[in-house]
Amino acid sequence: MNLRRYAFAAAAVAVVFLLIWLVWARRSKDHGPVGGGSGAIAGSVAPASQPGAVSADDATTTVFAHNLELRKGPDFRVYVRWIRGEMVPTSAGRVPSLDDEESFVFHIDRGLIHANVGDIENYMNSKMAPKSPLENMKLSGQSQQLKLSGTLHKFLVPLPVEVLGTLSPAPNGRVHFAVSKINVLKVPMKALMGGLKVEITDVVGKTPVPGVEVTKNDIYLDTTKLLPPPHIRGQMSSITIQAPDVVVTYGNTTLVDEERLAQWHNFLRLRGGSVEFGKLTMRQADLTLIDGSGDVWFDLDLANYQAQVVKGYSRITPEKGLEIFMPDVGKSMPSGSVPLETLRDRKKPLPEPTTVK
């Protein structure tokens, strides 16, 4: 009898251990390695948790901006009256970073952007002239009519030329310059006697700079290749010259009132998705950069934004977002801040900050 009891007990213990082993094996198969060891560590790290990777659960980052003077490198800037769009990473699996302007593109759905004609002219002469046959370039025009003039060296004789045409939006977010006429002014007699003919390829070069494409009498300009970052893309609905600016609209902005836009405070806001800035990565991003200078435009240099951030201050919103109040480039932060509830009305008072760094 004793032997039978011992045998029964031993069998029962074996069955219990077998059941425990089966349950442990099933859990390991369903959930991966558990506990310590190098295999457990490797199996517990998901690819989405690696630095710079984007989780499949991350949504698109939406960008909103009002009254933003956005610097594109040291020699150019655009004036964003307002935009609505997305902050799109430039490569799959990459988190857009404010510390790397090449890591993202602002893809605009609707908006209104100005660029000063004088700024464009200076940029062409300082950055594009070394690769262009034209020297001393000048721009002027009105509505869709554009005039580009400069000095062209042909037949070893400097020739003052004038290129006339019209501007219009082209597919893929490009600018179409349809050349209607090329004038050669004050032509020297020797050049005239030798026969003189100036073509579009003489003006832009037989191998145009990146971002310039020539087809017969048409020149197509890709601003994302011609201008430094941060890059702006989107299908333009109209391009007009309203001296002293070139005005570019995206989407339907016919109902937008300029005076109403001017009442908004100056800010750049990012919502949703993931955004990196400094040593931080914000998931389900809710980040707003707000101008504390109180002037017409928010002068923002994303390439050096941290120099502006350290002069300002920040706060966490009740929705767990982050608001950073910062001065214009080269300025100090005045007292006061602009909370989100006052962004639509410039007449509302600016409350004193609780903490100033």
Tell me if 184 is assigned to some domain.
yes
Give the pLDDT confidence of 239-271 residue by residue, as tens digits. Answer: 999 989 999 999 877 666 777 888 889 999 999
207/193 same-domain check: yes
Domain boundary among 204, 221, 250: 250
- Burial class of 168 by CB neighbour count within 10 A (0 to 12, 13 to 18, 19+): middle
40: pLDDT confidence band, cut at 50, 70 and 90?
very low
Token pair recorded at residue 110: 């609707």
Side-chain-side CA neighbours of 49 within 13 Å: the count stands at 5
Token pair recorded at residue 130: 């070394």
- Whether the per-residue pLDDT at 294 is higher than 70: the answer is yes
72/150 same-domain check: no
Which residues is 140 bridged to in the sheet?
Answer: 147
Q: Distance between CA atoms of 317 and 230, rounded to whole angstroms?
A: 27
Number of CB atoms found within 10 A of residue 264's CB: 16
133/205 same-domain check: yes
* Residue with more model confidence, 234 or 345: 234
Give residue 335's pLDDT: 55
232/264 same-domain check: no
Tell me if 233 is assigned to some domain.
yes
- Whether the per-residue pLDDT at 303 is higher than 60: the answer is yes
- The structural domain count of the chain equals 3
Distances (CA, A) of 107 to 20, 61, 111, 186, 339: 56, 11, 11, 45, 26
* Residue with more model confidence, 14 or 175: 175
Asked whether the beta carbons of 101 and 302 are under 8 A apart, the reply is yes
Asked whether the beta carbons of 230 and 270 are under 8 A apart, the reply is no
257/324 same-domain check: yes
260/334 same-domain check: yes
Asked whether the beta carbons of 83 and 63 are under 8 A apart, the reply is yes
**Look-up: residue for tokens 């610097």?**
71
Tell me if 46 is assigned to some domain.
no
Number of H helices, E strands in the chain: 8, 19
Give the pLDDT confidence of 155-211 residue by residue, as tens digits. Answer: 677 889 999 999 999 999 999 999 999 888 766 544 444 456 788 888 888 777 889
Structural domain for 108, as ranges: 61-113+252-342
97/139 same-domain check: no
238/134 same-domain check: yes
pTM summary value: 0.74
101/134 same-domain check: no
Domain boundary among 194, 222, 250: 250
303/246 same-domain check: no
